[in-house]
C-alpha cells in the first residue's frame, strides 16, 4: 500500500439514509408549521367573532335604561339582555367552519360592560404523529358601553 485511500465502496447507501431522514424531518417541520398557522388563524377568527358578539352585547340597552349622573349619561346593562343580544348576534352572523362553537358566558358584571366568552374546537388540517388531534379554544372579550 503506497498511501492510497481506502476504497469508498463500503459506504454505499449511507447518504440515502441521511436524505430520507432529513426529508422526513423537513416534512414534519412543514406540517407542524402548517398546523401552528392554522391554530393561530382559527384563534384570531374566534376572537373576531367574540369581538362582534361583545359589541352587540354592550349595545343591549334601551334609552329608558340610561342613567344621567354627574359624569353624564351612562347606559345600564343587564346580564339577561347581554346574553340575548349575543345569542341573536351569533344566530345572524355566519360562522360555519367553527366546530362545537358555544357561548361559555355572556354577562355584565358591572352594568357598564359586556363580557363574552366563546369556546370552539380546533382540528389540524393534516393529521400527523407530532400534532394533537385537536385543541379546545376559548376567548374572552370585554366591551364597554359609553356615550361620548
Q: Where are the domains of the chain?
A: 13-62+75-142
Cα-Cα-Cα-Cα dihedral sign, residues 29, 34, 40, 46: negative
Percent composition of the chain: helix, strand, coil (DSSP 3-state, to 5): 45, 25, 30
Sequence-separated (6 or more) residues with CB below 8 Å from residue 62 = none
- Predicted TM-score of the model (pTM): 0.78
What local confidence, expressed as pLDDT, does residue 8 receive? 56
Host H or E run for residue 46: helix 14-58
What local confidence, expressed as pLDDT, does residue 130 receive? 72
What local confidence, expressed as pLDDT, does residue 99 receive? 87
DSSP code of residue 101: E
- The per-residue pLDDT string of the chain (148 residues; one tens digit each, 9 = 90 and over) reads 556 655 555 556 678 888 999 999 999 899 889 999 999 999 999 999 999 999 999 888 877 777 777 777 778 888 899 999 999 999 999 888 888 899 999 998 888 889 999 999 998 888 777 778 889 999 999 998 777 6
| Helices vs. strands in the chain: H and E counts, helices first | 2, 5
What local confidence, expressed as pLDDT, does residue 133 receive? 83
Helix 79-92 × helix 14-58 angle, to 10°: 130
HEC sequence for 78-94: CHHHHHHHHHHHHHHCC
Q: What does residue 20 show for φ and ψ, rounded to 5 degrees?
A: -65, -45
What local confidence, expressed as pLDDT, does residue 11 receive? 58
Amino acid at each position: 500500500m503506497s498511501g492510497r485511500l481506502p476504497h469508498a465502496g463500503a459506504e454505499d447507501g449511507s447518504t440515502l439514509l441521511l436524505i430520507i431522514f432529513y426529508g422526513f424531518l423537513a416534512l414534519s417541520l412543514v406540517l407542524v408549521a402548517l398546523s401552528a398557522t392554522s391554530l393561530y388563524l382559527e384563534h384570531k377568527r374566534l376572537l373576531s367573532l367574540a369581538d362582534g358578539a361583545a359589541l352587540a352585547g354592550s349595545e343591549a340597552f334601551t334609552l329608558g335604561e340610561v342613567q344621567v349622573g354627574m359624569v353624564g349619561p351612562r347606559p345600564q346593562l343587564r346580564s339577561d339582555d347581554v346574553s340575548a343580544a349575543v345569542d341573536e348576534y351569533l344566530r345572524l352572523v355566519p360562522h360555519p367552519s367553527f366546530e362545537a362553537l358555544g357561548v361559555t358566558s355572556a354577562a355584565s358584571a358591572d352594568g357598564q360592560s359586556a363580557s363574552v366568552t366563546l369556546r370552539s374546537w380546533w382540528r389540524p388540517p393534516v393529521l400527523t404523529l407530532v400534532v394533537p388531534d385537536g385543541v379546545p379554544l376559548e376567548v374572552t372579550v370585554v366591551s364597554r358601553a359609553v356615550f361620548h
